[in-house]
Amino acid sequence: MRIDGLQYCNWSRPIFEEMRAGGLDAVHVTIAYHEVFRETVLQMERWNRYFEDHGDLIVQARTAADVEAAKASGRTAIIFGAQNPSPIEDDIGLVEILHTLGLRFMQLTYNNQSLLATGCYEAEDPGLTRMGREVIAEMNRVGLVVDMSHSADRSTIEAAEHSTRPIAITHANPHDWHPARRNKRAPVIEAVVARGGMMGFSLYPHHLKGGSACTLDSFCGAMMDAAAQYGVRHFGIGSDLCQDQPDSVVEWMRVGRWTKQIDYGEGSKDNAGFPPQPPWFRSNADFPKLEEGLRAVGFDADSVAALIGGNWLDFFDKNFGPQ
């Protein structure tokens, strides 16, 4: 079972074909950054056309059983997620509606303060808001996973503590390995995994040690260090692959509608666009190379299977349904 915990590619049949070439059984795809409810529904409509036009390659998944069925049919399961709570606007009732429509992950923040919690780019982090605590409880009830990939430290720790179900960091790396602003410090990782949560290791170059020049050995070594410290069952891949996206999409991710200025992310104009992927992971067809790298740093076969997808599948099985 091969599962990627997050991608936001410029979707096309060639990309879906590369998923099959890489033996990828499921992908959590972003359908919303700053989109409000109606705009998110339009993205779901767009995906319905993909499922119609490319049904020999992809199929929507709402449960772990759907992922297993997709694998058995030789197709890649597509799981919907949002990287901001903007799809629920200011209405807690939309949590259940979106879950019914197929959403299975929702970040409480992107980079900024939201109505629910604080993003990792804010100077101050007061933690969860009153609405944030209520929305987490509703997400727990219906089976919509709390994702804190872009959230600040205190907010993430409080979310892990307040949630009655495990939460996820779908795409980030340890701050100790590479001190990018969005990578996670040890107390944050500890708070998430101590309560059964999951963390997907990201292949987005700004979050890799050495950037685009990061080696497969270094990346897999970071996974080995994390597994040794926290346990192998809490980790997987969340590549954050943005294949074939134009640089203008980075502006939408970072700027949305909240500012008239350009936000350069980590603080440098050099980060204005998409950086090149490392040569060993340029598309979904390269997914088997991750398995090779994990074996090369010393993981046994069972651990490789867990990290490459088994852990995500178990997490889906326990957390996608109502409480």
CATH of the domain at 226: 3.20.20.140
Q: Which amino acid is at 39?
A: E
Listed residue (51, 46, 54, 61) closest to 103, CA to CA: 61
- Residue-wise pLDDT tens for the chain (323 aa)? 999 999 999 999 999 999 999 999 999 999 999 999 999 999 999 999 999 999 999 999 999 999 999 999 999 999 999 999 999 999 999 999 999 999 999 999 999 999 999 999 999 999 999 999 999 999 999 999 999 999 999 999 999 999 999 999 999 999 999 999 999 999 999 999 999 999 999 999 999 999 999 999 999 999 999 999 999 999 999 999 999 999 989 889 989 999 998 887 655 566 668 899 999 999 999 999 999 999 999 999 999 999 999 999 999 999 999 98
- Kindly tell me the burial class for residue 133, based on how many C-beta atoms sit within 10 Å of its own C-beta (0-12, 13-18, 19 or more): middle
Q: Determine the pLDDT at residue 27.
A: 98
The values of phi and psi at residue 167, to 5°, are: -110, 175
Report the sign of the C-alpha dihedral through residues 297, 300, 301, 306, in that order: negative
What total number of domains does the chain contain?
1
The Cα–Cα gap between 248 and 80 comes to 22
Per-residue burial over 308-323, b if 16 or more Cβ lie within 10 Å, else e, is bbbbbbbbbeebbeee
Q: What is the pLDDT of residue 125?
A: 98
Residue 23 neighbours by CB distance under 10 Å = 18
CA-based nearest residue to 3, from 218, 229, 168: 168
Looking up tokens 């190379």, which residue turns up? 289
pTM of the model: 0.96
**Which domain, by its residues, includes 189?**
3-319
167/148 Cα distance (integer angstroms):
8
Of 103, 92, 59, 121, give the one whose Cα is nearest residue 259.
Answer: 121
Dist. CA 102–CA 308, nearest whole Å: 24
The confidence score (pLDDT) of residue 273 equals 81
Looking at the DSSP assignment, which residues form a beta bridge with residue 80? Answer: 29, 103
pLDDT of residue 40: 98
Sole residue written with tokens 């640089």: 247
Q: What sign does the CA torsion over 166, 172, 178, 180 have?
A: negative
Q: Which of 84, 83, 264, 236 is nearest to 173 (CA)?
A: 236
Q: In Å, how far are 61, 108, 158, 222 from 127, measured between CA atoms?
A: 32, 11, 7, 28
316: tokens are: 């889906």
| pLDDT for 266 | 58
pLDDT of residue 262: 83
Question: How much is the pLDDT for 270?
Answer: 60
What pLDDT is recorded for position 250?
A: 87
Instruction: Take residue 96 and report the two structure tokens written for it.
Output: 């259940």
CB-CB neighbours of 294 under 10 Å: 26
